[in-house]
Amino acid sequence: MTTVTRFAPSPTGKLHVGNVRTALHNWLLAKKTGGKFLLRIDDTDAERSREEHVDSIRADLAWLGLTVDGEERQSLRFEIYEREFRRLVDAGRIYRAYETSQELDLKRKVLLGRGLPPIYDRAALKLTEADHAAKAAAGEKPHWRFMLDHDQPITWDDGIRGAQNFDARQMSDPVIRRADGSWLYMLPSAIDDIAMGVTDVLRGEDHVSNTATQLQMFSALGATPPRFAHEALLTGSEGKLSKRLGALGMADFREQGIEPEAIVTLLARLGTSDPVDPALDVDALAASFDLSRFGRAPARFDEADLHRVNAQIVHRLPFARVAHLLPKGMGEVAWEVIRPNLAHIDEASGWWQVVTGPVSAPAFDDETRAFLDRAAALAATLDWAADPWRALTAALKDSTGRKGKTLFLPLRQALTGQDHGPEMAALLPLIAQEEAVRRLSA
């Protein structure tokens, strides 16, 4: 059976790292077996859904390289939901209820005060058709609940959490449709998973109780449920995922100079016992993706880790991948020389400025100026195509007796204006000979 996974965001805001991790793991799970990864836009909430968020979700997935094999939109499927809803009403699995949120809160408080679980008491089932007619005449509209089967055990083998067991008698019948006719999450999601042929649902552990309910919905709809797995939620370095991190979208990371490969590399392994390895491409990450490697402890996301991984990724990026992002005139040789010193690609322009000039060297004492004058005279005589750095430093060492830091640092400072940076043996040939002589003379 072909593995089919789905990512089902609501377009009420931009994707944050927790959403992206869910999408990535579903994509890897499908890719591992050559399956399909589907995007479902859960836009039943017409008041809060925005088309610009739909566009940004698609753009973020594309930027990350998470290719989608199909897309559905819940706002275009209301006829399907209505048909299945009526079928479940006729089968007695969905019923009308009228309690207000205040009345339900009061019931819960009473039960809790008695030391009992705050479960809905199914009082609405006692209403007669005459009662319903009277409420309708009074202008009261019902909301709708799915009736759990108290005699049907709820069990499944969770791909991460292992054997799960729920007692339906200890659960409230969930509201699946509001009084205004709008849908809540659970029933449309189950209907869509059936219609889309979803075989595996991988989502956060905050959905575990929803899964228990949805398993009975799949049964009531006459369908075999998909396999379920629930991973630990993402937390920030200070504990829970901070509001700031929750507000950061992929555009924010792009502005910080984070590469998509860094996000994929880090998030692919967060929550597992496997190390983060920037040497692995997406094919290798997919091949090694294994739900049994996930733990139950919260997965910790640290921005410092992301920037560290980003630097490691940048150090491995080939010229063809970055050429369009580099300053004009910077070629492949220069990229390979400069990239080990970069944490973000946009820093390349600063090092290219070091190559092309001008640079600002520190003030030198008279002895050092004399040393640099000697270096300029020697540099003017060298074959610039034949390792000029080693030739220059060897000649200076012999003629001045300088060595170590007193030999190398003034040359680096005069030639680059920096105390550190790329290996000078690789960097110096990038600087035109005439320019290098000028800098040493200055």
Confidence (pLDDT) at 236? 80
Do 52 and 118 share a domain, yes or no? Answer: no
In whole angstroms, give the CA distance from residue 130 to residue 127: 8
- pLDDT-derived band at 86 (thresholds 50, 70, 90) equals very high
Do 120 and 193 share a domain, yes or no? Answer: no
Do 198 and 225 share a domain, yes or no? Answer: yes
Domain ends where: 177, 200, 222?
177
DSSP-derived 3-state class of residue 31: helix
Do 28 and 87 share a domain, yes or no? Answer: no
Instruction: Write out the two tokens for 185.
Output: 């999450």
Confidence (pLDDT) at 128? 97
pLDDT digits (tens, 9 = 90+) for 229-243: 999 998 887 666 656
Confidence (pLDDT) at 217? 98
Domain ends where: 133, 158, 177?
177
Do 98 and 158 share a domain, yes or no? Answer: yes
Residue 110 falls within a domain, yes or no?
A: yes
Question: What CATH number is given to the structural domain containing 36?
Answer: 3.40.50.620
- Number of domains composing the chain: 4
Do 87 and 173 share a domain, yes or no? Answer: yes
Confidence (pLDDT) at 210? 96
Confidence (pLDDT) at 299? 86
Do 11 and 60 share a domain, yes or no? Answer: yes
- pLDDT-derived band at 298 (thresholds 50, 70, 90) equals confident
Residue 281 falls within a domain, yes or no?
A: no
Question: What CATH number is given to the structural domain containing 423?
Answer: 1.10.10.350
In whole angstroms, give the CA distance from residue 208 to residue 158: 9
In whole angstroms, give the CA distance from residue 15 to residue 249: 5
Residue 277 falls within a domain, yes or no?
A: no
Helix, strand, coil percentages in the chain from 3-state DSSP, rounded to 5: 50, 10, 35
Confidence (pLDDT) at 442? 85
**Which domain covers residue 148, as residue numbers?**
80-177
| pLDDT greater than 90 at residue 141 | yes
Kindly provide the b/e burial profile for residues 30-59, where b requires at least 16 CB atoms within 10 angstroms of the residue's own CB.
bbbeebbbbbbbbbbbeeebeeebbebbee
pLDDT digits (tens, 9 = 90+) for 123-133: 999 999 999 99
pTM of the model: 0.90
Q: Are 213 and 185 in contact (CB under 8 A)?
A: no
Please compute the mean of the pLDDT values over residues 307-336 and round it to a whole number.
96
In whole angstroms, give the CA distance from residue 88 to residue 168: 18
Residue 388 falls within a domain, yes or no?
A: yes
Please compute the mean of the pLDDT values over residues 346-353 and round it to a whole number.
96
Do 401 and 336 share a domain, yes or no? Answer: no
Residue 251 falls within a domain, yes or no?
A: no
